[in-house]
């Protein structure tokens, strides 16, 4: 039975991963050895494309993450979009200059009205008996059909939403220790989709950034998975001499039988645990509160401060689920002991505080590369510029980044104002004085919005009906 976690897309070369037993919680990234091609040119269906040895002459080689247009630019099928008026020469780039392309459907004749295929082959890790294997997508824009070894394991009515994350249970479809073929058919967002948009920040690429725009990787676990470990800080004194930590983590039972075990946590030398029983296919948030777990009242903590206010101290948090004397799954994260609050002053102005101290937010708008081509070196350099300019915050407005971005801002002491985008379907949940006509959010939009929040996935069977706005090609 296949299950899906969602939250918050082929080629001649074999991915250079070796089959091996994975460390608990480890990720096997599928970055190299991909190829991309339009469904208008492949002439094949997902069942064929996702078989090992499928021939891909004429496909565009790439690494993932990569959008479709980024892949075409990389292969010099399209010229540099940042030179002269090159972007306007791209097929499908006929929207009026200065217009919000996110509010338009793909123009007639655009090559991105059709779906595009991403394909790779990889050697799956060897798993012990009773272990499950997961195929993870950290970002697909916007819809996708996912095929593995000739089987469709998820359909485009369920894989929908730029900022959702997916963990597909591929235990039955994968071939441990052998070559596996993965094919992902990606559909660009329609104008009334909750997708990645540029509004007036930047011209938009003609594919609307369709593709596998964040990492793809394989993980293994036992019957129960652990997701989204989190530590939340509260101080009840301006002296900051004791930090009251609340630890949360999500655990999910991937099997059809009840599972009992223990959730264990560790923050440096501090350990804590509690028994948990999960019904078949149940997902539960487990909380360790400081009033019940006294060791989470951290004396003399190393406090995290924004840049220019103090040091950026960080702690490591590890959470695992044990059952039958074995670790089923384990996740780690790094966090700062900090508390951000706000209040209205006597003149009805909002005052922000970090760890009880007032802070003046000095920020600027942040945007990534137009084709979402991520570079660790460039990201580090640009965030260092933020610090060098004496700023302490960046504002994204829907231009959300990979996890590495938030890890870097933590280390540099930069506050992040995330949020969603204005001036497009993200703010059309209802009609009002400034938006009297046009589509408003439907059931799918509310689901996509809710599950685009970090740590808010859904656990369900992938459905097979046609998607609401974009017909399934295959």
**Within 10 A of 51 (CB to CB), how many other CB atoms are there?**
15
Assigned fold of 224-335? Immunoglobulin-like (2.60.40)
Start-end of CATH 2.60.120.260 domains in the chain: 1-222+341-474
Which residues, 6+ apart, have CB-to-CB distance to 62 below 8 Å?
11, 34, 35, 36, 70, 71, 74, 75
SS3 label, residue 68? helix
Tell me the DSSP string of 69-135. HHHHHHTTSS--TTSTTGGGGSTT--SPTTS-GGGSPPPTT-TTSS-EEEEEEEEPPP--TT-EEEE
**Is 457:451 a contact under the CB 8 Å cutoff?**
yes
Options 3.20.20.120, 3.40.30.10, 1.10.357.10, 2.60.120.260; which CATH number does 1-222+341-474 get?
A: 2.60.120.260
Start-end of CATH 2.60.40.10 domains in the chain: 224-335
Rounded Cα distance, 64 and 30, in Å: 7
From first CA to last CA, the distance across the chain in angstroms is: 21
Rounded Cα distance, 356 and 353, in Å: 5
Which residues, 6+ apart, have CB-to-CB distance to 41 below 8 Å?
58
Rounded Cα distance, 430 and 451, in Å: 19
Which has the closest alpha carbon to 210: 345, 116, 110, 316?
Answer: 116
SS (H, E, C) 304-335: ECCCCCCCECCEEEEEEEEECCEEEEEEEEEE
Backbone angles phi, psi at 113, to 5 degrees: -70, -25
Residue 336 parent element (H or E): none
pLDDT tens for the 474 residues of the chain, in order = 444 434 333 332 333 334 444 566 789 999 999 999 999 999 899 999 999 999 999 999 999 999 999 999 999 999 999 999 999 999 999 999 988 898 889 999 999 999 999 999 999 999 888 899 999 999 999 999 999 999 999 999 999 999 999 999 999 999 999 999 999 999 999 988 999 988 888 899 999 999 999 999 999 999 999 999 999 999 999 999 999 999 999 999 999 999 999 999 999 999 999 999 999 999 999 999 999 999 999 999 999 999 999 999 999 999 999 999 999 999 999 999 999 999 999 999 999 999 999 999 999 999 999 999 999 999 999 999 999 999 999 999 888 899 999 999 999 999 999 888 888 888 889 998 888 888 899 999 999 998 886 544 433 333 333 334 544 566
pTM assigned to the model: 0.89
């Amino acid at each position: 039975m296949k299950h899906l976690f969602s939250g918050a897309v082929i080629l001649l070369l074999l991915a250079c991963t070796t089959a091996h037993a994975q460390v608990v919680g480890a990720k096997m990234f599928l970055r190299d050895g991909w190829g991309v091609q339009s469904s208008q040119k492949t002439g094949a269906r997902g069942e064929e494309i996702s078989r090992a040895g499928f021939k891909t002459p004429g496909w565009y080689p790439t690494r993932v993450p990569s959008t479709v247009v980024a892949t075409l630019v990389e292969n010099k099928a399209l010229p540099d979009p940042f030179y002269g008026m090159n972007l306007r020469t791209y097929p499908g780039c006929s929207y009026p200059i200065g217009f919000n392309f996110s509010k338009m459907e793909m123009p007639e004749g655009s090559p991105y009205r059709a779906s595009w295929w991403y394909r790779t082959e990889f050697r799956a890790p060897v798993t012990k008996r009773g272990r499950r294997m997961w195929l993870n997508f950290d970002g697909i824009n916007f819809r996708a059909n996912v095929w593995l070894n000739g089987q469709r394991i998820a359909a485009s009515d369920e894989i929908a939403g730029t900022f959702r994350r997916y963990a597909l249970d591929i235990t039955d479809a994968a071939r441990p220790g052998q070559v596996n073929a993965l094919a992902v058919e990606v559909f660009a967002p329609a104008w009334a989709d909750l997708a990645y948009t540029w509004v007036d920040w930047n011209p938009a690429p003609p594919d609307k950034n369709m593709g596998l725009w964040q990492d793809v990787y394989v993980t293994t676990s036992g019957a129960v998975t652990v997701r989204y470990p989190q530590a939340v800080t509260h101080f009840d004194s301006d002296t900051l001499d004791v930090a009251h930590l609340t630890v949360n983590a999500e655990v999910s039972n991937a099997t059809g039988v009840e599972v009992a075990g223990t959730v264990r946590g560790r923050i440096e030398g501090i350990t804590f645990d509690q028994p948990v029983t999960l019904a078949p296919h149940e997902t539960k948030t487990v909380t360790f509160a400081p009033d019940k777990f006294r060791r989470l009242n951290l004396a003399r903590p190393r406090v995290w401060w924004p840049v220019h206010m103090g040091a950026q101290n960080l702690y490591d948090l590890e959470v695992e689920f044990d059952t039958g004397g074995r670790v089923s799954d384990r996740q780690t994260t790094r966090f700062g002991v900090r508390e951000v609050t706000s209040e209205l002053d006597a003149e009805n102005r909002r005052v922000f505080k970090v760890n009880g101290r007032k802070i003046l937010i000095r920020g600027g708008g942040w945007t990534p590369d137009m084709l979402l081509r991520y570079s660790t070196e460039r990201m580090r350099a640009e965030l260092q510029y933020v610090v060098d300019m004496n700023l302490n915050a960046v504002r994204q407005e829907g231009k959300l980044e990979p996890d590495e971005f938030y890890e870097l801002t933590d280390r540099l002491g930069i506050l992040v104002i995330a949020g969603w985008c204005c001036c497009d379907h993200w703010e059309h949940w209802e009609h009002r004085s400034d938006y009297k006509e046009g589509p408003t959010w439907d059931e799918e939009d509310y689901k996509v919005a809710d599950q685009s929040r970090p740590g808010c996935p859904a656990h369900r069977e992938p459905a097979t009906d046609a998607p609401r706005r974009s017909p399934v090609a295959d």
